[in-house]
Amino acid sequence: MPQQRSEETRAHLLDAAVRRFAISGYNAASVDEICAEAGVSKGAFYHHFPSKQAVFLALLDGWLKTIDSGLESMRQATVPETFVEMTRLLPAIFAAADERLPMFLEFWLQASRDEKIWEATIAPYRHYQEYFARLVADGIAEGSLKPETDPQAAGQVILSLAVGLFLQGVLDPHGADWQKVGEESMKILMNGLAS
Amino acid sequence: MPQQRSEETRAHLLDAAVRRFAISGYNAASVDEICAEAGVSKGAFYHHFPSKQAVFLALLDGWLKTIDSGLESMRQATVPETFVEMTRLLPAIFAAADERLPMFLEFWLQASRDEKIWEATIAPYRHYQEYFARLVADGIAEGSLKPETDPQAAGQVILSLAVGLFLQGVLDPHGADWQKVGEESMKILMNGLAS
DNA sequence: AAAAACATACCGACTGGTCGGTATGTTTAT
DNA sequence: ATAAACATACCGACCAGTCGGTATGTTTTT
């Protein structure tokens, strides 16, 4: 085990960071706090990351990779099934109950302000937009979706809905039966798009 | 003009606060910053507001009142028209291009963490949920919407979509033709819900 | 009418404490 | 032994909130 301990420390720091950021927010969560929760010193922190922002970017990167792998698994299926699968999986990806969810809100908020973080966020995000637009276009080509649908806009609508469901789930977890709302939204989407 | 100057000062402070909060975020925006932008002293600030949080809550209150008046104007119309009007107005309310929009993201994020702010946010929010659910229920009773629709869930879906559209509009204003996406989303919603 | 008493609005220096980051020393693995 | 991994002590900047004081009315008294 060469640098195993080192990697464990790094993992502990990332784990502590995501929790502190989620609970207190990026600004309010201090490096000292994160170190304490990770059980390491500040020296270790700055040995592994050049700055506080760097941890944040590392977490963002990990989150984007997680979503990507979720999308990748959907990309295997054929198009009509993909579309159904997508509408099923989308809320699951975004709304999986997890105490770290406020972290993602934090990502977006920071992204809207910090140029560096914005670039790291928006590029993959646009990639998702295109992905959904393509899915809709394929559905139309196959005849399973209304031909007059605008693929770009419809893809955006699906993404918007997912984002909205996710956000509400974060802010008011017990405010509704989100499982049910997710299913209802998929019904409405399918009815509204299917030919 | 006795306390006119006083009210002007207060207005300047609120105006400066909403801008600083939107640009820098609640935590990063300092009271000094806000005072400087408002052109008044820190003493004036704490003369008008007991704390930094109090300004935030005052802004939140103003925002909720704005939305409420928008909904109120819709409440006049008869139900089927109301439903169409609603689907038209909703994105307009949330997505009106305005440099202060990130402020609302800030509201939500703070709400997810600060109990006081959460209470001020979530109560009106649940009120909107009920409002939309009732609208859908009325639409079903009138026969204009699918009878098997769950009003609660469907109302949530509409709200989610609005929230998602709004959020994306904030984060990536030039990432799509949001006008078009808004229209498309309304088409899909109507198709998916109409009987 | 004018002065005294009071009230409101505002100023800006200051405080106690926090934070991100650094400098420097110690331990651990190879 | 030597370099990477980690710890400790510390620095300068900043920040929310306080406080003594001023300036500008407003009300009361004479």
Residues 6+ apart with CB under 8 A from A123: none
Nucleotide with the nearest C1' to A55 CA: C20
pLDDT beyond 60 at A88 = no
Report the C-alpha gap between B105 and A25 in whole angstroms.
13
Q: Which CATH superfamily is domain A1-49 in?
A: Homeodomain-like (1.10.10.60)
Q: Work out the average pLDDT over B15-32.
A: 92
Q: Which chain A residue has the Cα nearest residue B29?
A: A27
A101-147: pLDDT as tens digits: 778 788 888 888 888 888 888 877 788 788 888 888 988 988 888 99
Cβ contact A103:A59 at 8 Å: yes
Residue A52 contacts strand C, CB under 7 A: yes
Report the C-alpha gap between A47 and A26 in whole angstroms.
20
Task: Give A2 CA → D3 C1' in Å.
Answer: 14
Q: What's phi and psi for A145, nearest 5 deg? A: -120, 155
Residue of A33, A32, A35, A25 lying closest to A56 (CA atoms): A25
Report the C-alpha gap between A35 and A80 in whole angstroms.
48
Q: Does A96 touch chain B (CB under 8 A)?
A: no
**Residue found under tokens 């204003």:** B173
Report CB contact under 8 Å: A193, B188.
Answer: yes
Residue of A178, A166, A105 lying closest to B110 (CA atoms): A105
pLDDT of residue B99: 60
CA closest to C8 C1', residue? B3
Look up the CATH number of domain B52-193: 1.10.357.10
Report the C-alpha gap between A10 and A24 in whole angstroms.
21
- When CB atoms are compared, the residue of A112, A125, A183 closest to B105 is A112
Q: Choose between A84 and B31: higher pLDDT.
A: B31
ipTM value, please give it. 0.81
A7-16: pLDDT as tens digits: 899 999 999 9
Report CB contact under 8 Å: A176, B23.
Answer: no
Cβ contact B144:B194 at 8 Å: yes
List the domain boundaries for chain A.
1-49, 58-193
> How crowded is the C-beta side of B73, counted as CA atoms within 13 Å?
10
pLDDT of residue B78: 47
pLDDT beyond 80 at A67 = no
A91, burial (CB in 10 Å: exposed 0-12, middle 13-18, buried 19+): buried
Report CB contact under 8 Å: A157, B185.
Answer: yes
Q: Any idea which fold A58-193 has? A: Tetracycline Repressor; domain 2 (1.10.357)
Cβ contact B87:B132 at 8 Å: no
Q: Work out the average pLDDT over B54-69.
A: 85
Residue of B158, B107, B104 lying closest to B131 (CA atoms): B158
**Residue found under tokens 């054929």:** A78
Q: Work out the average pLDDT over A77-82.
A: 50
Cβ contact A38:A13 at 8 Å: yes
Q: Which of A23-27, A188-192, B106-110 has the highest mean pLDDT?
A: A23-27
